[in-house]
Structure 1
Amino acid sequence: MSGEWPSHKQVEASKAQSLADRTGKGKQKANEMQSEADAAAVPKHGL
């Protein structure tokens, strides 16, 4: 991320992923959120 703060989408996706990892629930939704956040980061951060 080149020293930039994570976007709101990335933070929310990370929280969802963490919850899914701990509980085993919502894995598909967490994966979708993570994909969206990653896709949005490409234009923003030039990844």
Structure 2
Amino acid sequence: MSGEQPSNRQRKASQAQSEADRTGKGKEQASRQQSEADRSAVPKHGL
């Protein structure tokens, strides 16, 4: 099933968020990237 694995976009966003948390740099951009990845992963039907 396709919904079980995080998308490549979600993995990259997660890595960016981890980096931002560690370094304190780029937090706003990482957060925005994470939000966009999460929104794109939401199924269009069934909610």
Q: Structure 1 length as normaliser, TM-score?
A: 0.82
C-alpha distance after superposition, 1:2-24 (max 9, x if no partner): x6110011000000000000000
User: How far off is 1:38 after superposition?
Assistant: 0.6
C-alpha distance after superposition, 1:18-40 (max 9, x if no partner): 00000000001100100100100
What is the aligned partner in structure 1 of residue 24 from structure 2? 24
Moved runs in structure 1, 4+ residues, more than 6 A? Answer: none
Indicate the RMSD between aligned Cα atoms, in angstroms.
1.9
Total equivalences in the alignment: 44
Q: Which runs of 5+ in 1 are unaligned?
A: none
Corresponding position: 1:5 with 2:5: yes
The structure with higher relative contact order (CA 8 Å, sep 6+) is 1
State the structure with more CA Rg: 2
